[in-house]
């Protein structure tokens, strides 16, 4: 099984027919590879990852050089600095990528896990077996490290994958792909288990998200516009990652030191991550004490506060008034909306109404309110007495994540190896028939 060789004209956007043919070939090759991957043994999958990791390290100069070409072209095309930054690969990036592959090789194989077996009155012994999803299409921006991470997670979970990275990263992605291919070959696994699109034609994305016979799920990683376009047009199921409007709620009986530390960390440890908080809620009885400490801390970090009237009473007019719109915002910036609430009910209602059901935390010493928060806050991660920044694949022990699902079916929150698999039913019988 060969990765279909694209026509030269594909890269510059050939005739419609060519992209379609190319994508069909890719899809068929992926489907065939997925069947072999589903039965590939753990040792072979790990070997592919370890050989690919070694190849990345050996080819470190070539990788950095290929990336430098991408960066140069992107700079000539006046790509934004933030995007240039994500595109750029240093030697350190490559070493981290290689280590990522080794880490994934070290994770337990989710395929073949059996659970919930029980005898039924008929005598059949029924349970579930975890199996790969099949073919996973990943559509992402110009972040070359995603190529290695996503391919590795799909490979370890027994899936075939089709990767479509941002066009600015095409040389970097192809160079990484060659290392992955070396791993697949060494382990005698089908080469089409990982395919990286060799075309930058945008029609390829629209074709891929409608290839329901040969693609089983699409994981888009990118801006809201890209994800909305994919969700609107896909015929293949999509595991989406939309915005994170996250909250910390400081409850009446919180330990003040802990509450202050968690709220500060959840906002300022990094501004651009989806599990960073955008709003802070504080119980009325804790408002003065916690705001008097948090106000100067946020000021020292240059975090702009937008508060309800009560917050402005405590901290003064230097705090901008929060508008209704602020409660909905995902700033991804040093801005924080702050509201004083009268009780847990108001906090939960606020989070469920304005939040994005992503990640929310309560700081409390009260048993009943902790339990209520855990149950009633409808978010993919709910935390008691921990920073929202703890909600990610590495901290949760998934080893790595392919994204964070904001969907409500299949998987919520950080998506690791298990999120790339599904359970089928298995029955052991002794001749049982239906009466």
Which pair of tokens denotes residue 275?
Answer: 């599990």
Q: Considering beta carbons, is residue 102 or 372 the nearer one to its own copies?
A: 372
> What is the pattern of x (binds its own copies, CB under 8 A) and - over residues 263-282?
--xx--x-------------
Binding status of residue 431 toward its own copies by CB under 8 A: yes
Binding status of residue 159 toward its own copies by CB under 8 A: no
Which pair of tokens denotes residue 350?
Answer: 């606020």
Binding status of residue 397 toward its own copies by CB under 8 A: yes
Binding status of residue 41 toward its own copies by CB under 8 A: no
DSSP code of residue 271: S
CB of 424 to its own copies, least distance (A): 5
379 contact partners, CB below 8 Å, separation of at least 6: 351, 355, 357, 358, 359, 360
Distances (CA, A) of 315 to 14, 288, 329: 61, 9, 22
Binding residue for its own copies, selected from 46, 195, 199, 380, defined by CB under 8 A: 380
CB of 221 to its own copies, least distance (A): 17
128 forms beta bridges with 115, 425
Binding status of residue 422 toward its own copies by CB under 8 A: yes
CB of 363 to its own copies, least distance (A): 8
Binding status of residue 375 toward its own copies by CB under 8 A: yes
Q: How many residues bind its own copies (CB under 8 A)?
A: 69
CA atoms within 13 A on the CB side of 119: 5
Among residues 404, 395, 420, 424, the alpha carbon closest in space to that of 152 is found at 420
DSSP code of residue 217: E
CB of 31 to its own copies, least distance (A): 10
DSSP code of residue 113: -
DSSP code of residue 137: E
Binding residue for its own copies, selected from 96, 113, 203, 237, defined by CB under 8 A: 237
Binding status of residue 379 toward its own copies by CB under 8 A: yes
- Cα–Cα distance between 127 and 425 in angstroms, integer? 6
Please classify residue 81 by burial: count the beta carbons closer than 10 Å to its beta carbon, then call 0-12 exposed, 13-18 middle and 19+ buried.
exposed
Helix, strand, or coil (residue 169): helix
Q: Considering beta carbons, is residue 198 or 392 the nearer one to its own copies?
A: 392
- Cα–Cα distance between 128 and 37 in angstroms, integer? 19
Q: Considering beta carbons, is residue 53 or 242 the nearer one to its own copies?
A: 242
> What is the pattern of x (binds its own copies, CB under 8 A) and - over residues 108-127?
----x-----x-x-x-x-x-
Window 315-354: residues binding its own copies (CB under 8 A):
352
Q: Considering beta carbons, is residue 80 or 232 the nearer one to its own copies?
A: 232
- Cα–Cα distance between 264 and 383 in angstroms, integer? 16
Binding status of residue 381 toward its own copies by CB under 8 A: yes
118 forms beta bridges with 126
- Cα–Cα distance between 26 and 184 in angstroms, integer? 17
Binding status of residue 231 toward its own copies by CB under 8 A: yes
Contact segment (CB under 8 A) with its own copies among 11-19, 50-58, 165-173, 380-388 equals: 380-388
**Dihedral angle, C-alpha 170, 173, 177, 178, nearest 10 °:** 70
Binding residue for its own copies, selected from 153, 189, 386, 417, defined by CB under 8 A: 386
Q: Considering beta carbons, is residue 5 or 428 the nearer one to its own copies?
A: 428
Binding residue for its own copies, selected from 414, 415, 416, 417, defined by CB under 8 A: 414
- Cα–Cα distance between 317 and 270 in angstroms, integer? 26
CB of 412 to its own copies, least distance (A): 5
Binding status of residue 382 toward its own copies by CB under 8 A: yes
- Cα–Cα distance between 177 and 197 in angstroms, integer? 10
Contact (CB, 8 A) for 132 and 158: yes
Site for its own copies, rule CB under 8 A:
35, 38-39, 112, 118, 120, 122, 124, 126, 129, 131, 133-134, 216-217, 231-232, 235, 237, 239, 255, 258, 261-262, 265-266, 269, 352, 361, 374-376, 378-387, 389-391, 395-397, 407-414, 422-434
């Amino acid at each position: 099984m060969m990765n279909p060789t694209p026509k030269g004209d594909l890269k510059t956007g050939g005739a419609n027919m060519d992209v379609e043919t190319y994508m069909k070939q890719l899809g068929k090759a992926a489907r065939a590879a997925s069947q072999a991957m589903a039965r590939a043994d753990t040792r072979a999958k790990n070997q592919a990852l370890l050989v690919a990791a070694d190849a990345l390290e050996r080819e470190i100069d070539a990788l950095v050089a290929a990336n430098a070409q991408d960066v140069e072209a992107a700079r000539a095309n006046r790509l934004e600095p933030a995007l240039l930054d994500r595109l750029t690969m240093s030697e350190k990036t490559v070493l981290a990528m290689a280590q990522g592959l080794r880490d994934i090789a070290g994770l337990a194989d989710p395929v073949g896990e059996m659970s919930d077996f029980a005898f039924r009155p008929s005598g059949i012994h029924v349970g579930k077996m975890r199996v790969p999803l099949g073919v996973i299409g990943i559509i992402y921006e110009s972040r070359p490290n995603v190529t290695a991470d996503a391919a590795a997670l799909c490979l370890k979970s027994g899936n075939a994958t089709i990767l479509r990275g941002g066009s600015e990263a095409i040389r970097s992605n192809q160079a990484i792909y060659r290392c992955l291919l070396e791993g697949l070959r060494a382990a005698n696994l089908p080469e089409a288990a990982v395919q990286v699109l060799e075309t930058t034609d945008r029609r390829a994305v629209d074709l891929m998200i409608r290839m329901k016979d040969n693609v089983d799920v699409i994981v888009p990683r990118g801006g809201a516009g890209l994800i909305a376009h994919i969700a609107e047009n896909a015929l293949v199921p999509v595991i989406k990652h939309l915005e994170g409007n996250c909250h910390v709620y400081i409850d009446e009986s919180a330990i003040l030191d802990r509450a202050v530390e968690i709220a500060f960390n959840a906002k300022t440890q990094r501004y651009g991550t989806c599990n960073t908080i955008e709003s802070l809620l504080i119980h009325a009885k804790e408002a003065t004490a916690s705001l008097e400490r948090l106000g100067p801390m946020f000021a020292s970090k240059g975090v702009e506060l937008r508060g309800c009237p009560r917050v402005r009473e405590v901290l003064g007019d230097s705090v901008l008034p929060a508008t209704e719109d602020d409660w909905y915002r995902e700033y991804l910036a040093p801005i924080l909306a702050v509201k004083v609430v009268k009780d847990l009910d108001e906090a939960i209602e606020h989070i469920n109404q304005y939040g994005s059901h992503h990640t929310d935390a309560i700081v409390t010493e009260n048993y009943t309110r902790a339990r209520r928060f855990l149950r009633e806050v409808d978010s993919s991660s709910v935390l008691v007495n921990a920073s929202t920044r703890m909600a990610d694949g590495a901290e949760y022990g998934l080893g790595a994540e392919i994204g964070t699902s904001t969907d409500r079916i299949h998987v919520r929150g950080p998506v690791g190896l298990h999120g790339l698999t599904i359970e089928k039913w298995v029955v052991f019988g002794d001749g049982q028939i239906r009466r």
